[in-house]
């Protein structure tokens, strides 16, 4: 903190002293070292002007924004962070403007708790206590290599695991899989992710593996009815050339009526209250079922589309194995299916919290729409019933035939038009076994018991061993971003389980405290880097390092190369190349595929390369719609599957819990901890959302962002009054898994009965004491039980009680 203060004091002092001294160009011309600060603060010495250089680089956290950073650098210090912007009234001019987080990079890069040296766990301290002592790189590499070899020798490569991480993206940003393959043994891989595991798993059953997203938001400009399920595009992708901007542009240009169906009046609704349709969390599928009921009852489904492009809507298109058993979607909706419950609006009203007449009115608007655009965020699927919910939402465009045409989407999240770059190759992994990304701690705890039938292991029937060696790089998914932190702590701190954890990061995150050795990493913006991405329009960002690595920090690539060398595989890993050599080589491969790209040198000079979508907008599944015979989907039938025979077979061959509602059609599945299963002890639902001041837990330790993005529990005035809670009170949110304390935001912007809490706050609990998390990290209260199919993270499926702390 003192460092930050002295820097500000100095720079402000010189700005004031130098006012009018235009030739010096103001405050940003001056460096920020503590020596200069003293000189400046006393106001006597005249600081000599020093040369400022501009260096392009890019944001690299888990947001497809990856926005442009135009760094002003003086004396090896970043003195200002600009972005890529032009003074243009054209909303379609592609400008990847960095968001508030991008503009706070200086406070993060210069954080007083930045990791500067290799460290090992302090003698006598337990894993998880976070006590470390500085060591040399040589010693660090020796410990890592020795533990790796021991684990390989004693347990085999299935005991080696690289954990999911989202803190560092770029074409050369992920050297660790390549390292593990270069060492010749491979590793236990994962499938899925924490963003959309459930939807990723179910989508191939619906639309086939080649369909992963919906139409671009720009397509909704031609829609006359836009339904946004559980999504806030302006919050989740905040940059100036991704969903934030694209949504603002779309809603300004579309003629369509927009509804945002969300438990929270989220920021995509700001100023547009007539668009909010509040819903109980986890009940979107019930709303869809009731709308489907109305469409069917009123003969408003697109029967021709359902017969031509889909299977399983009614008996006529069911596969032979399902015929004559009332297994169609229509049977389920109309009360002749497996549960014999008619899905009327009256049935859905108490479940969803949406009155029956409103459901009928919405169904009427859907039926009347000429071009319906349905978009779902990844919140509705990040739940215990996420596979079924994600599939259900897609039913609205399917039932009405609003797929593959202008102004429509397929019900998945908005797609994008991107510039695609080739990444450094990972090499071949000889290990066939994979686990769900959410199962890492389980696989440390009881990996040898985990099976294909019960736990979603793939490639083998059962894991041969537990995980014993973990690499946790630029990721906070051991505790903070994983579920049930108190349970994870117990597993991870038991040193008889996992033998060794290698951590590498830029700050001491909660997850990093479970490392045995820590390597000091560089930010992406401190290395040469490139990345391609897009929203309505595509773009590529390229840049170089503003200064040489400071202290003993090294790039992940260089660190991995040292480990490879210690294990005799340096040549296999590097092939004699530096990171920049790889960057150049990967880029040349990209240019072979996409000859319009500028040269490497040009790209580095430009920093930002943009490209408009020549088609105007991405229309999901347009080719299939145009000719379903010539362009079949990647499903067994080649059509959209409303009844999935493959899923029926999967269900028959796998084990599920009694309260897992699984079906080969998209049904409403009541949740384990949901709207219909709150208890007297925990009478409220608790749902997370993405926060503007963090990207998951990235930036979570940056004070200037924390100050203006306070960690709050959104609670409806009715729920607050019942508990004597007022705006700004510190409250305790508690359930069967743990307790956290944070501030109350008492607001009509959240539906009664639900508490909403931004995910990603830094966990801050005395794990040897009461374990009450003072940081307000929602994963203190989330379950580590995986969703039934994807074995994904159901992190919004929680119930709780709230009291004044």
Partner 1 sequence: MAQLAFYFDGTRCTGCKTCVFACKDKNNLDTGLAYRRVWEYTGGTTEKGADGTCTTSCFSYYTSVSCNHCDKPICMANCPQGAISKDDETGLMAVDAESCIGCGTCVNACPYGAPKVDPETVKAVRCDGCADLVAAGELPACVMACPARALKFGDAGAMAALGERGAVAPLPDPAETEPNYFMTPTADARAAGSDEGFIGNPLEVA
Residues 646-705 interacting with partner 1 (rule: CB under 8 A): 692-693, 703-705
Q: Answer yes or no whether residue 568 interacts with partner 1 by CB under 8 A.
A: no
Minimum CB separation of residue 533 from partner 1 in Å reads 14
CA distances from 635 to 323, 510, 639, 783 (A): 19, 42, 6, 33
Of 119, 144, 211, 354, which lies in the binding site for partner 1, with binding defined by CB under 8 A? 354
**625 interacts with partner 1 by CB under 8 A:** no
Task: Spell out the alpha helix ranges (H) of 300-385.
Answer: 303-309, 329-334, 345-352, 356-368
CB 94 within 8 A of CB 537: yes
The string of DSSP letters for 199-233 reads: HHHHHHHHTBTT-----BGGGGGG-SEEEEES--H
- CB 492 to partner 1: min, Å: 33
* Buried/exposed 238-252: b ≥16 CB within 10 Å, e otherwise: bbbbbbbbbbbbbbe
- CA proximity to 260, closest of 282, 232, 237: 232
Q: Which is nearer to partner 1, 186 or 535 (CB)?
A: 535
Q: Does residue 55 bind partner 1 (CB under 8 A)?
A: no
Q: How far is the CB of 728 from partner 1 (least distance, A)?
A: 7
- 215: nearest Cα among 419, 411, 387: 411
Nearest by Cα to 58 from 609, 533, 542: 542
Residue 564: half-sphere exposure toward Cβ, Cα within 13 Å: 24
Q: How far is the CB of 743 from partner 1 (least distance, A)?
A: 7
User: Residue 77 CB, nearest distance to partner 1 (Å)?
Assistant: 12
Nearer Cβ to partner 1 (122/708): 708
Q: In the bound complex, what is the minimum distance in angstroms from residue 43's beta carbon to partner 1?
A: 10
Among 19, 368, 657, 721, contact with partner 1 (rule: CB under 8 A): 19
User: Does position 140 bind partner 1 by CB under 8 A?
Assistant: no
* 441: enclosing H helix or E strand: helix 440-446
Contact code string over 263-282 relative to partner 1, x by CB under 8 A: --x-xxxxxxxx-x-x----
Minimum Å gap between C-beta 4 and partner 1 is 6
Is the separation of the CB atoms in 650 and 250 below 8 Å? no
111 binds partner 1 (CB under 8 A): no
User: Token pair of 70, please?
Assistant: 């135009």
**According to CB under 8 A, which residues from 497 to 516 bind partner 1?**
none
Instruction: Answer yes or no whether residue 42 interacts with partner 1 by CB under 8 A.
Output: no
Member of 61, 68, 73, 104 binding partner 1 (CB under 8 A) = 104
Q: Tell me how far apart the alpha carbons of residues 165 and 194 are, in angstroms, rounded to a whole number.
A: 9
Nearer residue to partner 1 within complex by CB, 716 or 780: 716
Q: Report in angstroms the alpha-carbon separations of 580 from 255, 527, 592.
A: 48, 9, 18
Q: Smallest gap, in angstroms, from Cβ of residue 92 to partner 1?
A: 11
In the complex with partner 1, which residue's Cβ is closer, 632 or 753? Answer: 753
**Contacting partner 1 within 207-236 (CB under 8 A):** 234-235
Between CA 666 and CA 388 the distance in angstroms is: 5
Among 58, 103, 360, 639, contact with partner 1 (rule: CB under 8 A): 103
Task: Return the number of the residue (19 or 657) whose C-beta is nearest partner 1.
Answer: 19
β-pair type (160-162, 469-473) = parallel
Rg (CA), the chain: 27
Burial 550-589 (b: 16+ CB within 10 A, else e): eeebbbbbbbbbbbbebbebbebbbeebebbebbbbbbee
The reply to whether 248 sits near partner 1 by the rule CB under 8 A is yes
Minimum distance of partner 1 from residue 91's CB (angstroms): 7
Cβ proximity to partner 1: between 705 and 802 the closer is 705
- Give the three-state DSSP class for 263: coil
Residue 641 beta carbon to partner 1: minimum distance, rounded to whole angstroms: 33
**Residues in 718-777 at the binding interface with partner 1, rule: CB under 8 A:** 718, 727-728, 743, 745, 747-753
Give the nearest distance from C-beta 60 to partner 1 in angstroms: 17
Q: Which is nearer to partner 1, 28 or 631 (CB)?
A: 28
| Residue 22 touching partner 1 (CB under 8 A) | yes
**Sheet architecture: strand order including 608-611:** 529-534, 538-543, 608-611
Q: Are strands 500-505 and 517-520 parallel, antiparallel or unpaired?
A: parallel
End-to-end Cα, the chain, rounded Å: 29
Query: Which positions ≥6 away from 20 have C-beta within 8 Å?
Result: none
Query: Any contact of residue 475 with partner 1 (CB under 8 A)?
Result: no
What is the phi/psi pair of residue 566, to 5°? -65, -25
Question: Does residue number 27 form part of the binding site for partner 1 (CB under 8 A)?
Answer: yes
Q: Give the chain's count of helices (H) and strands (E).
A: 25, 26
| Cβ-based neighbours of 591, under 8 Å, separated by 6 or more | 597, 599
- Shortest gap between Cβ of 11 and partner 1 (angstroms)? 4
Tell whether residue 253 is a contact of partner 1 (CB under 8 A): no
Using the minimum distance from each CB to partner 1, give the nearer residue, 364 or 632. 364
- Token pair listed for 526: 């401190």
Number of residues in contact with partner 1 under rule CB under 8 A: 82
Residues 60-99 touching partner 1, rule: CB under 8 A, are 80-83, 85, 87, 91, 97-99
Smaller CB separation from partner 1, 72 or 326: 72
| Secondary structure element (H or E) that encloses residue 251, with its range | helix 243-253
* 9 is a site residue for partner 1 (CB under 8 A): yes
Alpha-carbon distance 323 to 311, whole Å? 12
Judged by beta carbon, residue 155 or residue 682, the one nearer partner 1 is 682
Quick one: which of 55, 100, 253, 565 contacts partner 1 (CB under 8 A)? 100
When asked if residue 349 is in the footprint of partner 1 (CB under 8 A), the reply is yes
Minimum distance between the CB of residue 257 and partner 1, rounded to whole angstroms?
13
In whole angstroms, the minimum distance from the beta carbon of 350 to partner 1 comes to 4
Bridge partners of residue 160, in order along the sequence: 469
What gap in Å lies between CA 669 and CA 661, rounded to an integer?
A: 5
State the nearest-atom distance from the C-beta of 506 to partner 1, in Å: 19
- Shortest Å, Cβ 349 to partner 1: 5
Residue pair 413/229 in contact (Cβ under 8 Å)? The answer is no
* Footprint (CB under 8 A) of partner 1, residues 169-208: none
- Nearer Cβ to partner 1, position 19 or 615? 19
Residue from the set 55, 253, 341, 355 that interacts with partner 1 by CB under 8 A: 355
Distance CA 706, CA 699 (A): 9
């Amino acid at each position: 903190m003192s460092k930050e203060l002295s820097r500000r004091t100095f720079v402000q002092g010189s700005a004031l002293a130098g006012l009018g001294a235009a030739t010096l160009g103001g405050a940003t011309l001056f460096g920020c070292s503590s020596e200069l600060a003293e000189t400046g603060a006393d106001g006597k010495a005249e600081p000599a002007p020093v040369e400022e250089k501009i260096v392009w680089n890019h944001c690299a956290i888990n947001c497809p924004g990856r926005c442009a950073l135009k760094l002003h650098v003086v004396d090896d210090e970043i003195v200002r962070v600009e972005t890529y912007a032009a003074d243009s009234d054209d909303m379609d001019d592609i400008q990847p403007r960095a968001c508030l987080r991008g503009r706070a990079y200086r406070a993060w890069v210069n954080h007083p708790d930045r990791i500067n040296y290799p460290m090992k766990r302090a003698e006598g301290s337990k894993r998880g206590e976070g006590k470390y002592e500085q060591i040399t790189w040589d010693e660090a590499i020796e410990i890592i290599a020795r533990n790796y070899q021991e684990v390989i020798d004693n347990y085999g490569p299935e005991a080696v695991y690289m954990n999911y991480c989202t803190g560092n993206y770029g074409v050369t940003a992920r050297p660790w899989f390549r390292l593990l393959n270069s060492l010749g043994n491979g590793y236990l891989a994962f499938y899925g992710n924490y963003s959309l595991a459930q939807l990723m798993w179910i989508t191939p059953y619906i639309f086939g593996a080649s369909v992963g997203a919906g139409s671009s938001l720009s397509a909704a400009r031609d829609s006359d009815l836009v339904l946004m399920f559980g999504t806030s595009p302006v919050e989740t992708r905040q940059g100036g050339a991704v969903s934030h901007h694209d949504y603002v542009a779309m809603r300004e240009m579309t003629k369509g009526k927009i509804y945002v169906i969300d438990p929270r009046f989220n920021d995509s609704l700001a100023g547009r209250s007539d668009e909010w349709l509040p819903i109980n969390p986890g009940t979107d599928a019930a709303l869809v079922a009731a709308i489907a009921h109305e469409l069917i009852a009123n003969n408003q489904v697109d029967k021709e589309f359902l017969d031509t492009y889909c299977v399983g809507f009614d008996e006529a298109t069911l596969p032979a194995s399902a015929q004559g058993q009332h297994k169609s979607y229509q049977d389920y909706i109309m009360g002749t299916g497996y549960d014999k419950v008619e899905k009327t609006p009256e049935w859905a009203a108490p479940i969803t919290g949406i009155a029956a007449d409103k459901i009928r009115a919405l169904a009427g608007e859907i039926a009347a729409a000429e071009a319906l655009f349905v978009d779902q965020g990844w919140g509705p699927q990040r739940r215990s019933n996420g596979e079924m919910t994600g599939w259900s939402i897609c039913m609205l465009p399917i039932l009405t035939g609003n797929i593959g045409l202008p102004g429509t989407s397929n019900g998945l999240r908005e797609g994008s038009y991107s510039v695609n770059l080739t990444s450094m190759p990972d090499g071949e992994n000889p290990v066939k076994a994979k686990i769900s990304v959410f199962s890492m701690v389980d696989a440390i705890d009881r990996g040898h018991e985990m099976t294909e039938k019960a736990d979603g292991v793939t490639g083998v029937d059962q894991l041969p061993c537990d995980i014993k060696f973990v690499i946790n790089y630029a990721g906070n998914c051991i505790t903070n971003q994983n579920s049930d932190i108190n349970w994870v702590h117990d597993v991870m701190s038991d040193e008889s389980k996992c033998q060794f954890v290698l951590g590498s990061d830029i700050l001491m995150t909660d997850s990093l405290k479970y490392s045995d050795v820590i390597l000091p990493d560089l930010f992406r913006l401190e290395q040469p880097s490139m990345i391609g991405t897009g929203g309505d329009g595509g773009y590529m960002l390229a840049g170089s390092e503003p200064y040489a690595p400071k202290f003993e920090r090294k790039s992940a690539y260089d660190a991995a190369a040292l480990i490879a060398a210690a294990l005799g595989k340096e040549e296999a890993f590097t092939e004699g190349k530096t990171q920049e050599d790889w960057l150049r080589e990967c880029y040349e491969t990209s240019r072979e595929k996409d000859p319009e790209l500028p040269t490497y040198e040009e790209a580095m000079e430009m920093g930002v390369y943009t490209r408009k979508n020549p088609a105007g907008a991405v229309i999901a599944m347009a080719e299939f719609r145009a000719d379903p015979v010539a362009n079949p989907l990647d499903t067994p039938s080649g059509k959209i599957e409303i009844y999935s025979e493959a899923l029926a077979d999967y269900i028959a061959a796998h084990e599920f819990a009694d309260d897992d509602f699984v079906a080969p059609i998209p049904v409403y599945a009541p949740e384990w901890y949901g709207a219909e299963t709150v208890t007297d002890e925990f009478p409220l639902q608790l749902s997370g959302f993405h926060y503007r001041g963090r990207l998951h837990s990235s930036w979570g330790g940056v004070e200037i962002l924390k100050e203006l993005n306070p960690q709050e529990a959104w609670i409806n005035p009715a729920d607050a009054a019942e508990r004597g809670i007022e705006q700004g009170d510190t409250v305790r949110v508690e359930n069967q898994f743990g307790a956290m304390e944070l501030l109350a935001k008492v607001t009509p912007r959240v539906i009664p009965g639900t508490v909403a809490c931004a995910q990603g706050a830094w966990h801050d609990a005395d794990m040897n004491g009461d374990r009450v998390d003072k940081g307000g990290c929602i994963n203190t209260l989330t379950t580590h039980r995986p969703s039934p199919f994807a074995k994904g993270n159901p992190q919004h499926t929680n119930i709780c009680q709230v009291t004044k702390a």
